[in-house]
């Protein structure tokens, strides 16, 4: 079992357009609505491939009802923490050449009582879990240190913790000693405050995060592949594929990595 926490989930509406022209009236060619948020994406990828996953989400309002309904339709074991304010809604406008224009809401402000309820419910859901995943942005009202506190409290239960977030929350979490962090290239550059132009630069940055407390670093590099740095060594992999859209790619990679045991597959070339 893998348990995910999505602190700032969303209902994501994707609208297909022939061409986006600012200031004009558009008629949609197609519309899809999906549950959104990094932890939710990880859970969806796992369940769709036959693995057990449980998603813990704060969800208020009619938008929250819709989110929970979407998750249950996809056979996700979802644990809901009801909040006073509604779940955010995001909109993606997609053109035929795969150009995507996104509008993401900030998300609801969580009260201190709601934050406490969210953390306590998560801790109560990991008794049968091998991994707990803390993923995505934090909503207003949730301090960056909340993830760091959860890393320590979850690890004390014996579950391994993976963190996929950015900014202050990522750095605070790293110092708390998670088993794994999964930044993308932009997030890794932000964490070490410098450009990472080569694979050697990426490895050095990953080692820097490990020196701060992370057990392993799995960095997704978009079309350039991925790098894993852990105690056993450093691995690099790059699939032969033409990148079309990065949406959800890192979440799917993290899901696959955890489903494989959270360690480097033997087929990966070692650097």
Tokens at 249, concatenated: 């790619």
Instruction: Report d(CA 225, CA 75) in Å as an integer.
Output: 30
Kindly provide the residue ranges of all beta strands, DSSP E only, lying in 137-271, ordered along the sequence: 160-164, 180-181, 217-220, 226-230, 233-237
Identify whether 251 is a catalytic site residue.
yes
Query: Helix, strand or coil for residue 147?
Result: helix
Tokens at 174, concatenated: 């790293």
Query: Helix, strand or coil for residue 228?
Result: strand
Q: With contact defined as beta carbons under 8 Å apart, do 10 and 107 qualify?
A: yes
CB atoms within 10 A of CB 82: 13
Give the closest residue to 92 by CA, choosing from 80, 102, 82.
102
Q: What positions carry a catalytic annotation?
A: 251
């Amino acid at each position: 079992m893998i348990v995910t926490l999505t602190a700032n989930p969303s209902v994501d509406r994707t609208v297909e357009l022939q061409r986006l022209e600012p200031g004009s009236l558009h008629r949609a060619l197609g519309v899809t609505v999906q549950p959104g948020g990094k932890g939710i994406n990880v859970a969806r990828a796992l369940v769709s491939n036959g693995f057990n996953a449980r998603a813990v989400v704060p969800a208020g309002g009619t938008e929250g009802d819709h989110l929970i309904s979407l998750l249950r339709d996809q056979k996700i074991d979802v644990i809901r923490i009801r909040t006073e304010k509604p779940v955010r809604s995001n909109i993606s406008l997609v053109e035929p050449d795969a150009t995507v224009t996104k509008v993401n809401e900030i998300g609801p402000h969580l009260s201190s009582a709601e934050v406490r309820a969210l953390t306590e419910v998560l801790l109560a859901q990991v008794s049968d879990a091998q991994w707990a995943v803390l993923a995505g942005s934090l909503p207003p009202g949730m301090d960056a240190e909340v993830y760091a506190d959860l890393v320590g409290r979850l690890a004390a239960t014996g579950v391994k913790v993976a963190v996929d977030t950015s900014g202050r929350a990522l750095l605070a979490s790293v110092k708390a000693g998670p088993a794994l962090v999964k930044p993308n290239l932009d997030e890794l550059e932000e964490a070490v405050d410098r450009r990472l132009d080569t694979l050697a630069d990426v490895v050095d940055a990953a080692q820097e995060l490990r020196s701060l407390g992370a057990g392993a670093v799995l960095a997704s590099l978009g079309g350039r592949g991925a790098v894993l740095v852990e105690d056993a060594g450093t691995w690099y992999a790059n699939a032969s594929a033409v990148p079309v859209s990065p949406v959800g790619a890192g979440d799917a990679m993290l899901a696959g990595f955890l489903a494989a045991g959270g360690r480097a597959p033997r087929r990966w070339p070692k650097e």
